Amino acid sequence: MTGTTLPGTDALRERALAALGAAGVTPQYGEGLTARTPITGEVLFDLHATTASEADEAIAAAAGAFRTWRTTPAPARGDLVRRLGELLRAHRSELADLVTIEAGKIRSEALGEIQEMIDICDFAVGLSRQLYGRTIASERPGHRLAESWHPLGVAGVISAFNFPAAVWSWNTALALVCGDTVVWKPSEATPLISSACSGLLDRAAQDVGAPREVHRLLLAGREVGEQLVGDSRVALISATGSTRMGREVGPRVAARFGRSLLELGGNNASIVTPSADLELALSGIVFAAAGTAGQRCTTLRRLIVHRDIADEVVERLVVAYRKLPIGDPFAEGTLVGPLITAEAAERMRDALNRAEAEGGKVLVGGGRRLAEDAPSAAYAEPAIVRMPEQTAVVRAETFAPILYVLTYRDFDEAIALNNAVPQGLSSSVFTGDQQEAERFLAADGSDCGISNVNIGTSGAEIGGAFGGEKETGGGRESGSDAWRSYMRRATNTVNYSSRLTLAQNVSFL
Ligand code: UN1
């Protein structure tokens, strides 16, 4: 069950080539970038990295295409996204293969990521007929006051390794129906799935007769990302990654008065109250904390349990953790795949050492698996650490499967602990008490962008707006009215009378 034998790098290379081939993509071999797989930790291909002048040309092409795309009727723009959705459906399995090969996700989560892409395409197609403005009551006779939403420009999308395809699709599907063109700089860790997504969008554009330049892909390192961020032809930078990255991106975009949408670190907590359905809570907690090997921005990192039930909850969690099948993400039954790099495993180790130094006790996990089979890979045992209080290491986001457990006495204290971290992405409460549930969701409850009841912190549907407050960056992507970030609003006053009336009863002349 625990995947003691891993697939070899050669077999993974073949599987990646087959998946790319099905998407109509041949890797652009060359220098400057390597495609790796965390399954073995080894190199799959040496790839050509987009140069600064190629990136400049790509931005210019997207800016050029914007001039015609912005006046293409929105439902016709939706047709491109509809076709993309069809191609994603047809290539679901191969795309999931690439997500597993490059990001190490287990099969069901990799398929879930592709499903999320299909879902946002469906959402965006519907949206292409619903980019509604408002008519507002004017204070003047014979006047109409209204607002219109217009395409914004080039959207620069910077995405992370952990949702290498879905985060692109949230941004791209919305941006395209909103009339923007897109330049995408994915994580260096995931060039293959990015190429496949980009290849399918090329094909969709060809099939529906949309300009090829409505989107461009930049496969390169940090410098090209910086170039994108600094380029004033790029109206919006939508960046997903660490708070450290956001701290650099935000001010640089602001300095040129560009718009940014930041989706940064999370340090998500669940509160477990004495009235909670523990069976349900435990399943929710294990998926949220150990799923995706702790590498979601919505991963559950802090468990705040009422002190009367803490021992029982912790004991049952430890039992569940001991049974977690860790190993080959392609193997049936595996629930925890590899961490993205050996450095990620080192950061996990460091955090556990710090937690112990700050008074914590590691109750389970923290060890390394499969080190002999794959010395360059990083299979980590998800860990649970009981902490005496919310110390510095608990307040920081470590992108690894560590669950810190804290206890509380009264519900106000639990909410205070939930909110006493710099990040504000996701949160949840497990309770059978309606008053507690509503308190958690109220204005003085959880301060996060996502607040849930009787469900974990991760695994949001695309229909809601996704994002968080404080150091999470404040941006909202995906559903609800997140589309507005990809458009500019124009307020229109139309005087259809034959008199000039000034607002606020001002007289002049
Ligand atoms: C991320 O980790 O960057 O809510 C996105 C979730 C997923 C998206 C996570 N739908 O866990």
* In the chain, domain spans: 52-131+145-263+479-489, 268-465
pLDDT at 106 over 90: yes
Q: Which residues have CB under 8 Å from 268's CB, separation 6+?
A: 288, 298, 299, 300, 301, 302, 423, 425, 426, 427, 428, 448, 457, 458
| C-alpha to C-alpha distance for 340 and 331, rounded to whole angstroms | 18
Number of helical (H) and strand (E) elements in the chain, helices listed first: 15, 23
CA 423 / ligand 1 centre spacing (Å): 15
CB 477 within 8 A of CB 290: no
Residue 4 has a pLDDT of: 57
pLDDT at 168 over 70: yes
- pLDDT, mean of residues 201-207: 98
pLDDT at 413 over 90: yes
- For the 268-465 domain, the top CATH level (class) is alpha beta
Residue 2 has a pLDDT of: 46
Residue 470 has a pLDDT of: 98
pLDDT more than 90, % of the chain: 99
Residue 5 has a pLDDT of: 87
Atom of ligand 1 nearest to the CA of 462: 10
CA 166 / ligand 1 centre spacing (Å): 9
CB 245 within 8 A of CB 419: no
Token pair for 488: 């500019």
The best mutation among 109, 159, 458 to test binding of ligand 1, ranked by most ligand atoms within 8 Å of the C-beta, falls on: 458
pLDDT per residue over 235-284, tens digit each? Answer: 999 999 999 999 999 999 999 999 999 999 999 999 999 999 999 999 99
pLDDT more than 70, % of the chain: 99
Residue 371 has a pLDDT of: 95
Residue 145 has a pLDDT of: 98
Q: Which residues have CB under 8 Å from 311's CB, separation 6+?
A: none
pLDDT per residue over 457-493, tens digit each? Answer: 999 999 999 999 999 999 999 999 999 999 999 999 9
Residue 509 has a pLDDT of: 84
- Mean pLDDT score across all residues of the chain: 97
* Domain 52-131+145-263+479-489 falls under CATH 1.10.10.10: no
Protein residue whose Cα sits closest to atom 7 of ligand 1: 459
297 lines ligand 1 (CB under 6 A): yes
458 lines ligand 1 (CB under 6 A): yes
pLDDT per residue over 283-298, tens digit each? Answer: 999 999 999 999 999 9
| C-alpha to C-alpha distance for 70 and 495, rounded to whole angstroms | 27
Token pair for 480: 């609800």
CB 160 within 8 A of CB 132: no
- pLDDT, mean of residues 147-158: 98
Residue whose entry in the numeric block shows the structure tokens 């003085």: 444
pLDDT at 324 over 70: yes
CA 137 / ligand 1 centre spacing (Å): 40
**First-residue to last-residue Cα distance in the chain:** 86
Apex 232 CA angle, 230 and 233, nearest 5: 120
CA 458 / ligand 1 centre spacing (Å): 6
**Interface ipTM above 0.90:** yes
296 lines ligand 1 (CB under 6 A): yes
pLDDT at 179 over 90: yes
pLDDT per residue over 10-31, tens digit each? Answer: 999 999 999 999 999 999 999 9
pLDDT at 404 over 70: yes
- pLDDT, mean of residues 183-198: 98
| C-alpha to C-alpha distance for 145 and 165, rounded to whole angstroms | 41
pLDDT at 112 over 90: yes
Atom of ligand 1 nearest to the CA of 116: 10
Q: How do the residues of the chain divide into helix, strand and coil, expressed in percent and rounded to 5?
A: 40, 20, 35
